[in-house]
Amino acid sequence: MKNLASLGVAAALTLANCAGTKPAPVASTAPAAPAPTESYPKGVGLDMADLDRTVNPCDDFFQFSGGNWLRNNPVPGYASSWGPRNLLGNRTQDLLRKILEDAAANRNAPPGSNLQKVGDFYAAAMDTAAIDRAGLAPLKPELDRVAAVRDAAALRAEIIHLQDLDFGVLFRIGVDVDEKNTSQYVVQMNQGGLTLPNREFYFKTDARTEKVKTAYRAYLQELFRLQGAAPAVAQLDAATVERIETRLAKASRTPVELRDPQANYNQMTVAAAQKRYPALDVKGLLAGLQLGKAQEIIIGQPAFFDEVNAVLKTESTPDLKTYLRWHLLRGAAAALPTPFAEASFRYNQALTGAKQQASRWKRMQAVTDQTLGEAFGQLYVDQAFSPEAKAKALEMVNNIKASMAEHIQTNTWMSAPTKAEALKKLNALRVKIGYPDVWKDYSTLKITRESYLKNVLAARQWESRREAAHLGQPIDRNEWGMTPPTINAYYNPPMNEIVFPAGYLQPPFFDPKADDAINYGAIGGVMGHEMTHGFDDQGRQYDSEGNLRDWWTPADAAEFTKRAAVVGRQYDAFSPLDSVHVNGQLTMGENLADFAGLTVVYGALQKQLQQRYGNGPRPKFDGFTPEQRYFLSWAQLRRQNIRPEALRQQIATDPHSPGQYRTIGPLMNMPQFQAAFGCKEGDKMIRPAAQRAVIW
Ligand SMILES: [Zn+2]
């Protein structure tokens, strides 16, 4: 229920998953060997051929820093966006493919070992002949269960069963750290149960949304037909699902409303919840999910659950069965015969604009990573992440932390009591780098080569039960929300921790052979970003122990909000497509973290350079000063080509701004950037002083 891939609402509320749109990789360029000369070779640091020197860096730094790269690297057919993270993704995927294929070829792995499970899982996933031959047979026991439901009680039992298998029907439920008492776990229930990405898609009527809805209806009908329904019946069933989902959508909160952690924390006793939602039978639900010992639960969106209760009361059992059957088919489609996976792809195409499906091995690698990520992540780490790299990364984080402490201390608008709390929070920050100290124990999970779908269902249930077992236990601080090869990072407010998987600590973003400016501009920028999430509009509401508790004086809070609002207005004004504007409210936390991160890390780099060169000259590489390379490195990390469909989708759903604005948005406020490139007042990259945001 909790892994990041299926987090849904909870992710929007608590985890700042920070890389933005996910990479969907291809053929890669291997890094060349470094040479300790003034001119860094390709692959270490920056490739000068990527720059478009016909553009003035003070006019458009996005084009100057990467114009040639953007021209020469169109989005491949199977992807929806493309950037250097995808190129790194290709390299990672090649390495993981070798690990998985070796494991699959090994028929002598000790039964029950991680190696056996990884090998068998991947082998079964790749055996499309067996999957196609089996047809719907592996799903039949589940379909039969839904078909056998005759009354409301049996329907509730089936909802519990499908929640246990993580099909996300009607809502989401899971065990997580209690945001107002982070020394304990608590059951949390949040809105969910939709197929379209969020509520807006059900009600908007613009041409783009209509196109997505047409694809949604076609998808519904096609899966029902593939299950055996006549076209007319499939059409009726599709309409039923859309009607029920539209009811849920209407009661759902918007992505912006979900960013308010206080509003989405509503503690209720189980008895009160039982009384308020009788048709849902909260007590029975908890008992069925092995959460019966819970006395209190957190309801994210109480009004949404009023509607769930009403849906259960007013919709007929046959219609609700149709809704459940849909989510069963949809959730299993990737593990069903080829026509099911193709139908899923056609629907996703409408959302992302991808021209063709990614290769099966890439898709199955992603599923293996989601399912058994810490089992084969260990093999990845052995090959891709050294203790030296870990030490170097930790040193960078510590330098950035020291710079953040200075920024807090020298802040001109914050009062002493708020500063003291801020420093306390910074000092209490936990840092996880590379991979978990304690690996997840998969020993009770059974994986075989018999059926891919059976493996998927077994793993989902295993994960639900593992998570349920947390309730009443002490907090496990060793857990990771991302797997080691992941090219991403996160800040988790209730744990007050920043987490950097080994997958992101790779060239060109992190390279012990590159100069400091490159590392501080790229992975350093990410480290600063995650660290300062603890002090963005959302993260600042959590204290040093991760508790959702207001530690700001009213005047300081008002001042912060006023300064953050300047950033909000700046991003509202960014318009990548006709009539499409970035949503400054939705992207507020990410934009603040980019801005604060770059500011703080710049300070850390200055200290590092001072240490290395004293007051002596600082060498240029490729004709650029360290300060210039710092900003070029940041821009390299963020550069991105993206399809218009995916761009619209990102703006509607993603709390991260598009790459172009993540690149230039913070720089336009930074006097450090202006000085590095000698830009003049009036240049496009330089905001007039009165319009600049100043926070840290
Ligand atoms: Zn972030």
Give 396's pLDDT tier (boundaries 50, 70, 90).
very high
CB-based contact 28:21 (threshold 8 Å) = no
Q: How far is the CA of 492 from the centre of ligand 1 (A)?
A: 10
Within a 10 A sphere around the Cβ of 561, how many other Cβ atoms?
Answer: 13
Q: d(Cα 592, Cα 538) in Å, to the nearest integer? A: 10
> Residue 8 pLDDT > 70, yes or no?
no
pLDDT above 50 for 41: no
The answer to which of 22-31, 71-80, 452-461, 481-490 has the lowest mean pLDDT is 22-31
What pLDDT is recorded for position 38? 45
Query: Sign of torsion, CA 218 221 224 225?
Result: negative
Residue 585 CA to ligand 1 centre (angstroms):
14
Distance 673 CA to ligand 1 centre (A): 21
4-18+51-72+385-440+479-691 CATH: 3.40.390.10
Q: What angle do CA 399, 624, 39 make, to 5 degrees?
A: 95
What are the boundaries of each domain within the chain?
A: 4-18+51-72+385-440+479-691, 137-335
Find the 269 Cα to ligand 1 centroid distance in Å. 33
Find the 405 Cα to ligand 1 centroid distance in Å.
20
Dist. CA 530 → ligand 1 center (Å): 6
The model's pLDDT over 44-61, given as tens digits with 9 standing for 90+, comes to 689 999 999 999 999 999
Among positive and negative, which fits the CA dihedral 377, 383, 387, 390? negative
Residue 343 and residue 50: Cα distance in Å, rounded?
38
* Average pLDDT of the segment spanning 358-366: 97
Phi–psi pair at 284, nearest 5 degrees: -65, -40
Residue 19 clears pLDDT 70, i.e. is over it: no
Coil, helix or strand at residue 497 = strand
Torsion 541-168-436-376 (CA) sign = negative
Query: What pTM was estimated for this model as a whole?
Result: 0.92
Measured in Å, residue 633 CA sits from the centre of ligand 1 at 18
Distances (CA, A) of 51 to 60, 71, 622: 12, 10, 12
pLDDT at residue 23 greater than cutoff 70:
no
Report CA(531)–ligand 1 centroid distance (Å): 9
For position 579, what pLDDT does the model report? 80
Q: Is the model more confident about 640 or about 579?
A: 640
Percentage with pLDDT > 90 across the chain: 91
Which tens digit of pLDDT belongs to each residue from 598-656? Answer: 999 999 999 999 999 999 999 899 999 999 999 999 999 999 999 999 999 999 999 99
Report the separation in Å between the CA atom of 17 and the middle of ligand 1, taken as the mean of its atom positions: 6
Nearest to 14 by CA among 196, 136, 186, 154: 186
Return the pLDDT at 29. Answer: 35
Per-residue pLDDT at 513: 85
Summarize pLDDT for 300-329 with one digit per residue, the tens. 999 999 999 999 999 999 999 999 999 999
What secondary structure letter does DSSP report for 165?
Answer: T
Cα–ligand 1 centroid distance for 259 (angstroms): 13
Mean pLDDT of 557-569: 98
CA distance 364 to 125: 6
The total of other beta-carbon atoms located within 10 Å of residue 363's CB is 18
- Give 240's contacts (C-beta < 8 A, 6+ positions apart): 319, 322, 323
Q: For position 430, what pLDDT does the model report?
A: 97
User: What is the distance in A from the centroid of ligand 1 to the CA of 528?
Assistant: 10
State the CATH architecture for 137-335. Answer: Orthogonal Bundle (1.10)
Above 60 in pLDDT, residue 204?
A: yes
The whole-number average pLDDT for the span 158-176 is: 98
Distance between Cα 533 and ligand 1 center (Å): 7
Task: Give the Å distance between the CA of 11 and the centre of ligand 1.
Answer: 12
How close is the Cα of 491 to the center of ligand 1, in Å?
7
- Ligand 1 centroid to 139 CA: how many Å? 38
pLDDT at position 15? 58
Q: What is the DSSP string of 71-126?
A: HH-PPPTT-SEE-HHHHHHHHHHHHHHHHHHHHHH-S-SPTTSHHHHHHHHHHHHH
Q: What is the pLDDT of residues 341-350, one digit of tens each?
A: 999 999 999 9
Task: Give me ligand 1 centre to Cα 497, in Å.
Answer: 13
114-155 residue pLDDT tens: 999 999 999 999 999 999 999 999 999 999 999 999 999 999
Q: In this model, does residue 24 exceed pLDDT 80?
A: no
**Res. 13: pLDDT tops 70:** no
Q: 329: CA distance to ligand 1 center in Å?
A: 33
| 14: confidence class by pLDDT, cuts 50, 70, 90 | very low
Per the prediction, the chain carries an average pLDDT of 93
Task: Pick 1 or 548 by higher pLDDT.
Answer: 548
Q: What is the pLDDT of residue 45?
A: 81
Three-class SS string for 636-692?
HHHCCEECHHHHHHHHHHCCCCCHHHHHHHHHCCCHHHHHHHCCCCCCCCCCCHHHC
pLDDT at residue number 26 = 32
How many angstroms separate the first and last alpha carbons of the chain?
37
490 and 17 Cβ atoms separated by less than 8 Å: yes
